[in-house]
């Protein structure tokens, strides 16, 4: 993926996340904007790394010197993916934690049971 395509994908992901977390209070907006920016970047990078790992695998044959037998080791791209994925998950969790908690009434249900139980008997 070239740099222009990557930038477009980051902008698209930033917009998607901004819509998803639009209801966050304005006092948190500065923090939220930074988290969204990082999450968008990480998601696009993770997609690119994921494509590489699918194409080239998670491990590679490695030999350190002529006297040592080659062995499988985890590719550096897999290490980077794991690290970035952990950071992405933390950022998304933080964004979700900043969302307003549902009220007790909203958590109780959608009101259908109240509607049915409030109807007069036929």
Q: Is residue 122 part of a domain?
A: no
Tens of pLDDT along 56-89? 999 998 988 888 888 999 999 999 999 999 999 9
Q: Is residue 30 part of a domain?
A: yes
- The pTM is what? 0.75
Number of domains in the chain: 1
State the pLDDT at residue 120: 63
Q: Is residue 102 part of a domain?
A: yes
Q: Is residue 110 part of a domain?
A: yes
Q: Is residue 36 part of a domain?
A: yes
What is the residue range of 47's domain? 3-117
Whole-angstrom Cα distance, residue 115 to residue 8?
47
Whole-angstrom Cα distance, residue 66 to residue 6?
40
Whole-angstrom Cα distance, residue 99 to residue 97?
5
Tens of pLDDT along 23-41? 877 777 888 999 999 999 9
Q: Is residue 43 part of a domain?
A: yes
Whole-angstrom Cα distance, residue 83 to residue 76?
11
* 85, 46 contact by CB (below 8 A): yes
């Amino acid at each position: 993926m070239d740099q222009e395509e990557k930038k477009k994908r980051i902008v698209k992901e930033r917009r998607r996340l901004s819509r998803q977390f639009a209801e966050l209070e304005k006092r948190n907006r500065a923090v939220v904007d930074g988290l969204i920016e990082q999450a968008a970047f990480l998601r696009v990078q993770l997609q690119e790394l994921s494509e590489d790992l699918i194409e080239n695998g998670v491990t590679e044959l490695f030999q350190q010197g002529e006297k040592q037998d080659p062995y499988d080791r985890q590719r550096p791209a897999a290490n980077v993916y794991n690290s970035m994925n952990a950071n992405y998950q933390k950022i998304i969790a933080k964004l979700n934690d900043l969302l307003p908690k549902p009220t007790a009434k909203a958590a109780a249900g959608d009101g259908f049971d109240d509607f049915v139980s409030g109807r007069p008997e036929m």
